[in-house]
Amino acid sequence: MSAGSMNPTRLLLSSRGPDEIIYRDELDRLSATQDGFEVLHTLTREQPPGWTGYARRIDQEMLTAVLAPLGQEARVYICGPTSLVESAANALVRIGLAPSQIRTERFGPTGS
């Protein structure tokens, strides 16, 4: 996000558990500024007591809810293992985003 940008931005971050959230302190601090940047978490394997965030793998229903405040003109960047990226990108197309609105980056094992 550019300095001084007024575009609302949402980050959906998937982690196995609370101890595996990368850059947690920094993201919490940025999100607390209330300048249009919001972090949402999904914890797929372990949730602490009282957890109110998502508690499953990213799916179409979750993407629909996360995207709703941004509208259908939103631009989306997906980064992660190939299976997550493909699943999320396909779900976003199914809910109405054009492929040109979706950018992806995959990581993980390659080759044989």
- Residues 28-54 have pLDDT tens digits of 999 998 888 999 999 999 999 999 999
Distance of CA 63 to the CA centre of its chain: 8
Q: What is the mean pLDDT of residues 107-112?
A: 69
Q: What is the mean pLDDT of residues 49-60?
A: 96
pLDDT of residue 18: 95
Domains of the chain: 9-57 (3.40.50.80), 71-112 (no CATH)
| Average pLDDT of the chain to the nearest whole number | 92
Q: Indicate the burial class of 58 (C-beta count within 10 angstroms; 0-12, 13-18, 19 or more).
A: buried
**Model pTM score:** 0.87
